[in-house]
Amino acid sequence: MLRIGLTGSIGMGKSTTAKLFAEADVPVNDSDAVVHDLYAGEAAPLVDAAFPGTMKSSAVDRQELGRQLARNPDSFKRLEQIVHPLVRKREGEFLDRQRQAGADMVVLDIPLLFETGAEQRVDAIVVVSADPQIQRERVLARPNMTEEKFNMILSRQISDAEKRRRADYIVDTGHGIEAARKQVAEIIADLKRRIAKEEAPHA
């Protein structure tokens, strides 16, 4: 089973691209959705112990957590040490399920793929990208987003240029959804050819 690592900086259209893979019948494990789920469950008391006052109604209050992280950006490491092992466990369960279901390829949607060394556990890397001006407009249009917050998030991510350089495939979302859909279809077709080649009996 071929594992596709999907990544991209904030505002590049990664979530939209993940949906395009899902619509093309490629199973997707969405790390962001997993984190949301964990914040409403098993991770909440652990996060609250490390960041007191962040748990409200047995779930992590993401805004309060964001405020604490903004005050002390070094504490991101502490948060990652709590959350990343739980996310990896869920990812393993997803891979087991898809293997049993006979999937030939899956997408692991990992926002900090390069930053966390996750490229070691995927077979192909798809980077979602767009013009920096488009990225900026998309991000600053989000609710509760500020210039300062945007810059803080960017500072934790390796540059778009570096991601593109290390990608096997690039999806440019700056030209609309249909253009992105076409690029995704081409990537899937190419990977299916690769799978067929690897499975073909060698002479």
- 64 lies in the same domain as 144: no
Which H or E element spans position 124? Answer: strand 124-129
- 20 lies in the same domain as 117: yes
Cα separations (Å) of 39 from 28, 55, 76, 87?
A: 20, 9, 15, 11
- 136 lies in the same domain as 83: no
Q: Structurally, how many domains does the chain consist of? A: 2
Q: What is the pLDDT of residue 54?
A: 93
CATH number (domain holding residue 185): 3.40.50.300
pLDDT per residue of the chain (203 residues) written in tens, 0 to 9: 999 999 999 999 999 999 999 999 999 999 889 999 999 999 999 999 999 999 998 999 998 998 898 888 788 889 989 999 999 999 999 999 999 999 999 999 998 899 889 999 999 999 999 999 999 999 999 998 889 889 888 888 899 999 999 999 999 999 999 999 999 999 999 999 999 998 877 64
Last residue of a domain, one of 102, 117, 152: 102
80-112 exposure pattern, b = at least 16 Cβ within 10 A, e = fewer: eeebeebbeebbeebbeebeeeeeebbbbbbbe
Q: What is the pLDDT of residue 144?
A: 84
- 197 lies in the same domain as 123: yes
- 141 lies in the same domain as 197: yes
Q: Give the domain extent around 76.
A: 34-102
Q: What is the pLDDT of residue 105?
A: 97
Last residue of a domain, one of 102, 119, 145: 102
Q: What is the pLDDT of residue 202?
A: 60
- 161 lies in the same domain as 89: no
- 98 lies in the same domain as 109: no
Q: What is the pLDDT of residue 154?
A: 87
- 48 lies in the same domain as 145: no
- 42 lies in the same domain as 97: yes
